[in-house]
C-alpha cells in the first residue's frame, strides 16, 4: 500500500504502473530512455526535447529564449547546486533551492513550471519532479479537489504557487506509512526513481 495523497491510498501500485506502461503514449519513453548527456550542472538547449516528448507544449519562443540564455551563460540555467539525491531525503532548505531553480527557469520567456520541470527533470531524476499543470497543481496539490471530480489545469511561475506542488510530491514519497512499499517498488521497477514512480501511479489513478 502507498499513500499518494492524504486522502488517496492504493493497495496495488504495481497494477497502476503496469497500466501506465501499457496505455500512456509518451510517458514511458520519457522515463525509460533518459539519454540526456552534456553538462549535468546546467539546463541546455537540447534538454527542451524531453519536455516535448512528455507532451509539454513549448513554443518556438521558449526554444529561442533557452538558446539565448545558453549563449549568454544565463545563471537561470544553472542547477549544479541541486543534489541528485532522492527528494524524500532532502532538507527543507534543499527543497527551497529546487523551488528557486524552477522559478528562475520560469523567468525565461515561454516557460512555466510544467515545461520548466519537464526540461529539468532528466538532469535531476531523483530530486526535481515533473510539476504538471493538471496532475500536480490541479489535483495532487489542490486541497479543494477530490478523486472523481473534474481535473482542472493550473499553471505556476511564482514560488508561492510552485512550493505547494513540490510539497505535495515530497509528502507522498516521504510518507512514513509507505516507505516499505516505496522501497519494494524501487527494487522491482529499476531504474525508475521514486518521484517517477509516483508520477506514473498518480497519472494512472487519474486516467484509467
Q: Say yes or no to pLDDT of 181 above 70.
A: yes
Separation between Cα atoms, residue 161 and residue 19, nearest integer Å = 30
Q: How confident is the model at residue 61 (pLDDT cuts 50, 70, 90)?
A: confident
Q: 137 to each of 74, 78, 132, 155, 176, how far by Cα in Å?
A: 27, 24, 7, 7, 23
On whether the CB atoms of residues 127 and 84 are closer than 8 A, the answer is yes
Q: Say yes or no to pLDDT of 36 above 80.
A: no
Averaged confidence pLDDT in the chain: 94
Residue, of 113 and 36, whose pLDDT is higher: 113
Q: Say yes or no to pLDDT of 34 above 90.
A: no
Q: How confident is the model at residue 56 (pLDDT cuts 50, 70, 90)?
A: confident
The label of the residue with cell 515533473 reads 130
Q: Dump pLDDT digits (tens) for 100-158.
A: 999 999 999 999 999 999 999 999 999 999 999 999 999 999 999 999 998 889 999 99
Residue-level pLDDT at 35: 62
Residue-level pLDDT at 60: 87
Separation between Cα atoms, residue 135 and residue 152, nearest integer Å = 9
Separation between Cα atoms, residue 200 and residue 31, nearest integer Å = 9
Residue-level pLDDT at 58: 84
Residue-level pLDDT at 23: 96
Q: Say yes or no to pLDDT of 202 above 70.
A: yes
Q: Mean pLDDT, to the nearest integer, of 72-86? A: 95
Separation between Cα atoms, residue 96 and residue 91, nearest integer Å = 9
Scored b (16 or more CB within 10 A) or e, 135-171 reads bbbbbbbbeebeeeeeeeebbbeeeebbbbbbebbbb
On whether the CB atoms of residues 10 and 4 are closer than 8 A, the answer is yes
Separation between Cα atoms, residue 108 and residue 105, nearest integer Å = 6
Amino acid at each position: 500500500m502507498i499513500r499518494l495523497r492524504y486522502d488517496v491510498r492504493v493497495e496495488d501500485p504495481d497494477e497502476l504502473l503496469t497500466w501506465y506502461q501499457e496505455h500512456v503514449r509518451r510517458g514511458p519513453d520519457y522515463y525509460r530512455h533518459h539519454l540526456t548527456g552534456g553538462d549535468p550542472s546546467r539546463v541546455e538547449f537540447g534538454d527542451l526535447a524531453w519536455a516535448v516528448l512528455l507532451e509539454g507544449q513549448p513554443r518556438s519562443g521558449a526554444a529561442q529564449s533557452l538558446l539565448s540564455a545558453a549563449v549568454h551563460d544565463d545563471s537561470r540555467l544553472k542547477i549544479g547546486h541541486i543534489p541528485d539525491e532522492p527528494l524524500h531525503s532532502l532538507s527543507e532548505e534543499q527543497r527551497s533551492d529546487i523551488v528557486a531553480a524552477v522559478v528562475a527557469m520560469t523567468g525565461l520567456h515561454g516557460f512555466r513550471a510544467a515545461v520548466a520541470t519537464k526540461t529539468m527533470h532528466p538532469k535531476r531524476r531523483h530530486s526535481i519532479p515533473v510539476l504538471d499543470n493538471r496532475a500536480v497543481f490541479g489535483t495532487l496539490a489542490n486541497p479543494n479537489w477530490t478523486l472523481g471530480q473534474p481535473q482542472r489545469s493550473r499553471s505556476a511561475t511564482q514560488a508561492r504557487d510552485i512550493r505547494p506542488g513540490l510539497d505535495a510530491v515530497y509528502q507522498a514519497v516521504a510518507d512514513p506509512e509507505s516507505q516499505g512499499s516505496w522501497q519494494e517498488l524501487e527494487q522491482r521497477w529499476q531504474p525508475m526513481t521514486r518521484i517517477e514512480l509516483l508520477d506514473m501511479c498518480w497519472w494512472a489513478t487519474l486516467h484509467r
